[in-house]
Amino acid sequence: MMKSLAAEAAAKYILGLILFALLTFIPAGTLRYPQGWLLMAILFIPMLGIGILLLIRNPNLLRKRLNDRENEKEQRTVVLLSMVMFLAVFILAGLNVRLGWYMLPGWVSWTAAAVFLAGYVLYAEVVRENEYLSRIVEVQENQKVIDTGVYGIVRHPMYAATVALFLTMPLVLGSIPSFLAALMYLPIIGKRICNEEKVLEQGLEGYAAYKKKVRYKVIPFVW
């Protein structure tokens, strides 16, 4: 069982790595794109570490995150829009290199990389705290409201992490057009959160009280 899960995770990891390389370097028309290599490193090295940790300590969560598929029509729309956003981010970044548009200074890429890694740390902490974490919107059997740790600060710390990750990726790539495309993520994630909270209020005991206790959804004192 563990071997098959490890093989499945490895296959999807390698596929993701290949797709990333294709989307990054083919539009750029060159492998001489240091910002692309930087993003590849800070994205896939921590991803490998988190995957190994889940395989050892919480294989059920890893299996769930590898295989879950959205059932709600509204959330399938969110997933589709997110895919369009990702394609736009990487294609525009590549064209930025190929066509010689303006590249952001190196210090911007490195600063964005630091923020990106901070987002990864937050992501890892959410994974550690929430055993009910899921890629899809659902209420699981025996699920309980978690209101401690980062969940005592914002109701959706996972989305806080993804906002940090997705908005810094185009900056790591050095592309202003890509950053403008990535801003699409804010209304996309807003739509997802709105639907998710409806599902949780209807199906998860204590969630309505939790919303009153923790006021902010993603960013403390802002949203």
Q: Is residue 147 part of a domain?
A: yes
Q: What is the CATH number of the domain that holds 121?
A: 1.20.120.1630
**What is the pTM for the complete model shown?**
0.88
219 lies in some domain: no
**Does residue 173 sit within a domain?**
yes
CB neighbour burial string for 67-79, b if at least 16 within 10 angstroms, e if fewer: eeebeeeebeebe
Within-domain flag for 7: yes
Query: Per DSSP, which regions of 8-51 are E strands?
Result: none
Per-residue model confidence (pLDDT) at position 29: 96
Which stretch, 39-53, 57-71, 87-101, 134-148, has highest mean pLDDT?
A: 87-101
Residue at 223 is within a domain: no
Mean pLDDT is highest, among 31-35, 62-66, 133-137, 187-191, for 31-35
Strand partners, 103: 175
Q: Is 74 a domain residue?
A: yes
Q: How many CA atoms lie less than 13 Å away from 31 in the CB half-sphere?
A: 1
Number of domains in the chain: 1
Residue 138, by phi and psi: left (phi above 0), alpha (psi -120 to 50) or beta? beta
The range of the structural domain enclosing residue 41 comes to 2-213
